[in-house]
Amino acid sequence: MKQKPYLQAFPNAEGYFGKFGGAFLPPQLIEQFKQIEKAYLTIGNSHNFIQELRDIRKHYQGRPTPVYYAKRLTEYVGGGRIYLKREDLNHTGAHKLNHCMGEALLAKYLGKEKLIAETGAGQHGVALATAAAYFGLECEIHMGEVDIEKEHPNVIRMKMLGAKVVPVSFGAKTLKEAVDSAFDAYLKESDRAIYAIGSVVGPHPFPKMVRDFQSIVGIEAKEQFFEMTGNLPDNLVACVGGGSNAMGLFSAFIEDPCEIYGVEPLGRGTKLGEHAASLNYGSEGVLHGFNSIMLQNTDGTPAPVYSIASGLDYPSVGPEHAYLFSENRTHAVAIDDEEAIQAFYDLCKFEGIIPALESAHAVAYAMKLAKEKKYESILVNLSGRGDKDIDFVEAHYPPEKYL
Ligand SMILES: *Cc1c(COP(=O)(O)O)cnc(C)c1O
C-alpha cells in the first residue's frame, strides 16, 4: 500500500507528532476542542470553505506575495543566492493574517459570534481584530498590562479595528498571564466564542490547523521559486517563535531534498533567561496544553525568556518543530540581538526593505549560510515588515552606528 504523505500522516488522530503535541486540557474544555477538531475536518475540507478562503487570500490579503531574488544583498555577502518570500507584503504586514482569516472563517461556519485570544506584542491581536472586522465578529484580546504599556501603537490599532482589549493585571502581567486570562474568558463563553491561537502551538487541533492555514506560504513559494530557477531551493530559512511562519514555508518541502533551518533568538547570550532558543537549549515538557521542547527551571516551571524581537520570546515551540528537529529533519540554529540588528540594517541598506526584528533573525542566518554554501540557493521567509520596530531600533541601535 502507498505510504501516506507526511502532511496527512502528521499529526496522528490524537494530535501527536511522534511523542510531541497532544491536548492537555482542563476537563471543561475537552469537549470544545473535540468539536473544533471535528468542525475543522469536515467544514475545513468542504468545497465552499476552501473556495471562500482562496478568494479572501487573493482579493483581500493580496496574495500571492512575491518571491524576490535579493541581488544586492547576495553580492554584498559574496556567496550563495538569497531569495525572500515576501510575507511583509501580506495585508497587515506579516504572515499572521494567513491563519487568523482561516480561524475566523471557521468561526463563521460554526455560527460563532466572537473571537477570543491573547496577545504578547500585539501582532496576533491586530491580525485577529482585522479578521473579526472582515467577518463582522466580536473580538476580545487579552493583553498583559506591561505589554499594553510597551506596545501602545498595536493597542490603538486593535481598538480602531473594533476589538475589546482586556488588560491583565496579575502575575508578571505579560504573555503567560494573558493566555490564562483568555482561557478563563473562553471557558465562560465557549458556546458562542472560539479561541483563536496565534501560532502552531496549544492543544490539538491548533498546531495542525494553523500549519495548514499557513501552508499557503510554502505552496506559493515552491511554485514561484521553480518558475524563477527551474529548481527546488537548496536551503530554507525561517525564524521560529512558536513556529507558524516557519511551518508555513517548511511544510511544502518536508519530503524534498532541501536543508531546513529554524532560527531561534539567542538574545543576549546562552544563559537561561537571556534568550528564547527553546530547541537549542530546552528539554521535553508540557506548557499551555501541549508536549514539546521547552525552556524550564529545575522545578519544571517555564523559564523566563528574552529576545529583542518580542514575537520570538516564547519558552516553548510548536510540537511539529520539536518532532522534525528530534528526527534530524531540520536544523535548529540561533542568532543573537546584535546579529539580528546588523541584518535589519543590511536589508534596509542593500534592498530597501525594513524587516520585522523577528524576520531579521532569519536574514542574519541566511547571510551566514550564504558564506558557507557559495554555490547554493537559500529561500528565506521574510515573515513581516519592520514598521512596528523602527522607534525602538532608532532609540537603542541608532542608524549612524550600523549603516
Ligand atoms: C509573530 C511573528 C513571528 C513569530 O511567530 P511564529 O509563529 O514563530 O511565526 C515572526 N515574525 C513576525 C513578523 C511576527 O509577527
Q: Same domain for 31 and 179? A: yes
Q: What is the pLDDT of residue 1?
A: 65
| Residue among 65, 103, 244, 250 to mutate when testing ligand 1 (max atoms within 8 A of CB) | 244
pTM (global) more than 0.75:
yes
196 and 115: one domain? yes
User: Would you say residue 261 lies in a domain?
Assistant: yes
Which amino acid appears at position 10 of this protein? F
Q: Identify whether residues 228 and 316 lie together within a single domain.
A: yes
Distance 325 CA to ligand 1 centre (A): 19
Compute, in angstroms, the gap from residue 383 CA to the centroid of ligand 1. 6
| pLDDT at residue 172, as a whole number | 83
pLDDT category, 227, cuts 50, 70, 90?
A: very high
Domain-located, residue 5: no
Q: Which of ligand 1's atoms lies nearest the C-alpha of 94?
A: 13
Q: What is the pLDDT of residues 294-341, one digit of tens each?
A: 999 999 999 999 999 989 989 999 999 999 999 999 999 999 999 999
Percent of the chain clearing pLDDT 70 (strictly above): 100
Nearest C-alpha to atom 7 of ligand 1 is from which residue? 244
Give me the number of domains the chain comprises. Answer: 2
Mark which of 194, 210, 226 sits at the end of a domain: 210
pLDDT interval class at 121 (50, 70, 90):
confident
State yes or no: pLDDT of 220 exceeds 90.
Answer: yes
**C-alpha cell belonging to residue 12:** 496522528
Q: Is residue 12 part of a domain?
A: no
Out of 103, 118, 177, 339, pick the active-site residue.
118
The percentage of the chain sitting over the pLDDT mark of 90, rounded to a whole number, equals 92
The grid coordinates listed for 30 are 475537552
The verdict on residue 334 lying in a domain is: yes
Tell me if 289 sits within 8 A of 24, measured CB to CB. Answer: yes
Q: Name the maximum alpha-carbon separation found in the chain.
A: 62
Is residue 151 part of the annotated active site? The answer reads no
Residues 99, 214 contacting (CB under 8 angstroms):
yes
Q: Cα of 358 to ligand 1 centre, how many Å?
A: 6
Residue 381 lies in a domain: yes
Report the range of poorest mean pLDDT among 80-89, 146-155, 240-249, 381-390: 146-155
Cα separation, 321 vs 313, in Å, equals: 16
Helix 27-43 to helix 175-189 angle, to the nearest 10 degrees?
Answer: 80
Mean pLDDT computed over 97-125: 96
Q: Which of 37, 85, 87, 96 is catalytic?
A: 96
Mean pLDDT of the region 234-262 = 98
SS3 18: coil
Position 250 in a domain = yes
pLDDT digits (tens, 9 = 90+) for 144-163: 998 898 888 999 999 999 99
What separation in Å is there between the alpha carbon of 227 and the centre of ligand 1?
27
Do 89 and 100 lie in one domain? The reply is no
Residue 74 one-letter amino acid: T
Same domain, 133 and 262: no
| Residue 58 known to be catalytic | no
Q: Which residues line ligand 1 (CB under 6 A)?
A: 94, 96, 123, 199, 239-246, 311-312, 356, 358-359, 383-384
2 pLDDT above the threshold of 80: no
Task: Tell me the average pLDDT of the chain.
Answer: 96
> pLDDT per residue over 24-70, tens digit each?
999 988 998 999 999 999 999 999 999 999 999 999 999 999 999 99
pLDDT average, residue stretch 375-388: 97
- The reported pLDDT for the residue numbered 176 is 81
Are 37 and 69 in the same domain? no
Beta strands in 207-270 (DSSP E): 235-239, 259-267
All 3 cell numbers of residue 226?
521553480
State the CB neighbour count (10 A cutoff) for residue 301.
Answer: 11
CATH number at residue 283: 3.40.50.1100
